[in-house]
Amino acid sequence: MYVITAPTSTIGRLIVDDLLTRGEKPRLVTRDASRLAPGVRERAEIVEGSHGDEAVVDRACADAEAVFWLAPDDGDAPSTDAAYVDFTLPRRGRSPGTASGGSSPSRRWAVARGSRSTPVR
């Protein structure tokens, strides 16, 4: 079982489509299942809620083989750590042993706060 967070995002949607094409039935963590592409709900297991919530993470990661953890773009976060590192706290110390992380699809946050990061265009 593969767990995918933010499955309605630009990146998450691509990963979900790839897994479904390969015949997998991924477990998707989403705040709003109605935003999933047509046909996805019937072919995936849905865990509704935020992957910033420990209880949601526990339900989603039960018996999972791997997790793709995509932090949401949070331009209102007070720091880079709060936007990306702190958001992973509910995942720390939990199975599965394999996790792949992803950043947000936008670098507006870092650029707006004077980071040396270059925006992706």
Q: Cβ neighbours of residue 51 under 8 Å, at least 6 residues apart?
A: 5, 6, 29, 57, 60, 69, 90, 91
- Residue-wise pLDDT tens digits, 6-22: 999 888 999 999 999 99
- Could you give the domains of the chain? 2-112 (3.40.50.720)
pLDDT of residue 110 exceeding 50, the answer is no
Mean model confidence pLDDT for the chain: 77
Condensed to tens digits (0 to 9), the pLDDT of residues 26-83 reads 999 999 999 999 899 999 999 999 887 888 988 998 888 888 888 776 677 787 777 6
